[in-house]
Amino acid sequence: MPTKMVRGKEIRRAFFSLIIFVLIVIGGAGVLVQTLSSSGQNFSVAENSTLTSGTEHEVRAKVLFEGIQNIDLSRGHYDAVVEVLLTWDGDTVSFEKEFGSKTIHGNEYKNFIANIWHPEFLIANAAKPRKTFYKTLGVQRGKFELFEKFRVNLTIDANMPSYPFGVLDLYMEISSYSGSISKMILVPEKIEIGHRDSEGNGHVVVKGNWTVKETGTVVQARNSLNHGGEEKFSYLITHVTVMHDFWDSVQQVIFPIAAIILLSMIINIFFPLNKERSLNGYWRAYGNWALFFAVPAYKFALADSVPTTHYLALIDVLFIFALLIVTSNLILSFYSNYLFMHEQTEKGNYVEKFTQRWFPLLSALLFILFLIPIIS
């Protein structure tokens, strides 16, 4: 009976240590999530007055993302369906004489546009030429309006050090080429995510477990080899920052890794080692061996969702931490079993006490130390 009471006290102490471990890890993860969720990117629109002074055509641009999908972090790509509306001053008299208030497309569009100056652009970060669905031209309030809807595959810098938390910048670089900045300047009016009348009708703009956090535009003038390499051309860069749905990140990454770590700790508690229970050493070894191989296997399963980087992202740190804990438990089990098999009972009891009571606390502190560089 006294032996059972002592064993009960040891189990309660071990569970108490495990509970503290869980609370410290949850607290540290909570601070991390709050810090990374509040951090964003600031995008500003350049002053129009300084951009447009001295240019012949001020081309105002509206950009609408109708669909964003196939966000591939491992390859740095995403697909988008985009609508662009370009507005500029021009000789609209001939257009209104021929077409009135009509919006033209098809052959009428091609025949008319070929005889006037109009802004032309390419998508600088497109992996291949965009696929245009259609173009139209009209006149509104004395200005030309050129509309184009297209699909494009875009390359991005899949830079998410805090993955699965943090934000990803889905940018698109619209580069003018029908004239340098002395001829035309792209001036952003607004960027929209989806049509207003599509809200509530089941249309989701960003496909997958992503949520739009903020949007913005940046205007730049960049050198080009065109025109002798001395002139600058207008660039309009749209930014759509997205972040993973929190619960998706928890169920895909945080919960499985936490489960592996907790299982490794619990194995130590329910299979204690002493002189009479040497068989438990095999159960602890087998259990931790299985978890040891589960960590890299699960990381491989998530390979397509993880950014390919030259640095350690948060998800890499979590997997390294999980592997370190499981490996440590495996080594402690081997060592403890070795001591009891060689009649070194006092040392074996000390190792068991450390494994069940103090190692969870040490692991929690180690977890916080792992997070400090990422949070800061």
Domain with residue 99: its CATH number is: 2.70.170.10
Looking at residue 128, what is its pLDDT?
A: 92
Q: Are 164 and 52 contained in the same domain?
A: yes
Looking at residue 41, what is its pLDDT?
A: 52
Looking at residue 1, what is its pLDDT?
A: 45
Cβ atoms 55, 194 nearer than 8 A: no
> What are the start-end ranges of the E strands in 126-231?
131-140, 143-155, 167-176, 184-193, 210-223
Looking at residue 11, what is its pLDDT?
A: 58
Q: Are 297 and 322 contained in the same domain?
A: yes
Q: Are 263 and 370 contained in the same domain?
A: yes
How does pLDDT run along the chain (376 residues), one tens digit per residue? 455 554 555 556 655 656 666 666 555 555 555 555 555 555 544 444 345 567 889 999 999 999 999 998 888 899 999 999 999 998 899 898 999 889 999 999 999 999 999 999 999 999 999 999 999 999 998 899 999 999 999 999 887 777 778 889 999 999 999 888 989 999 999 899 988 776 656 678 898 888 899 999 999 999 887 767 778 899 999 999 998 877 777 777 878 888 888 888 888 877 777 666 666 767 788 888 889 899 988 888 887 777 776 667 778 888 888 898 899 888 888 888 888 878 788 888 888 888 877 888 888 787 777 666 655 5
Q: Are 354 and 295 contained in the same domain?
A: yes
| Among 81, 61, 82, CA closest to 219 | 61
Residue 161's SS3 state is coil
Looking at residue 274, what is its pLDDT?
A: 66
Residues 6+ apart with CB under 8 A from 344: none
Q: Are 197 and 260 contained in the same domain?
A: no
For 68, phi then psi, to 5°, come to -130, 125
Residues 6+ apart with CB under 8 A from 151: 79, 80, 81, 82, 130, 131, 133
Name beta bridge partners: 147: 85, 136
Q: Are 19 and 68 contained in the same domain?
A: no
Q: How far apart are CA 131 and CA 184, in angstroms?
A: 24
| Among 189, 197, 195, 242, CA closest to 217 | 189
Give the CATH number for residue 325.
Answer: 1.20.58.390
What does 239-307 look like in DSSP terms, one character per residue? EEEEEE-HHHHIIIIIHHHHHHHHHHHHHHHHS---SS-TTHHHHHHHHHHHHHHHHHHHHHHTGGGS-
Query: What are 273-329's pLDDT values in tens digits?
Result: 766 666 676 778 888 888 989 998 888 888 777 777 666 777 888 888 889 889 988
Among the candidates 244, 262, 293, a domain finishes at 244
Looking at residue 46, what is its pLDDT?
A: 44
Among the candidates 215, 244, 273, a domain finishes at 244
The CA dihedral of 291, 73, 214, 155, to the nearest 10 degrees, is 170
Q: Are 174 and 191 contained in the same domain?
A: yes
The Cα-based distances of 62 to 34, 51, 52, 118, 216 in angstroms read 33, 17, 17, 16, 12
Name beta bridge partners: 146: 86, 137
Looking at residue 45, what is its pLDDT?
A: 44
Among the candidates 244, 271, 301, a domain finishes at 244
Looking at residue 198, what is its pLDDT?
A: 65
Sign of the Cα torsion 150, 156, 161, 163 reads: positive
Domain that holds residue 354: 2-36+248-375
The CA dihedral of 92, 95, 99, 101, to the nearest 10 degrees, is -10
Q: At what angle do helices 280-301 and 314-341 cross, to 10 degrees?
A: 170
Looking at residue 175, what is its pLDDT?
A: 95
Q: Are 48 and 32 contained in the same domain?
A: no
Q: Are 146 and 112 contained in the same domain?
A: yes
Q: Are 191 and 329 contained in the same domain?
A: no
Structural domain count, the chain = 2
Q: Are 195 and 157 contained in the same domain?
A: yes
Cβ atoms 174, 237 nearer than 8 A: yes
Q: Are 365 and 280 contained in the same domain?
A: yes
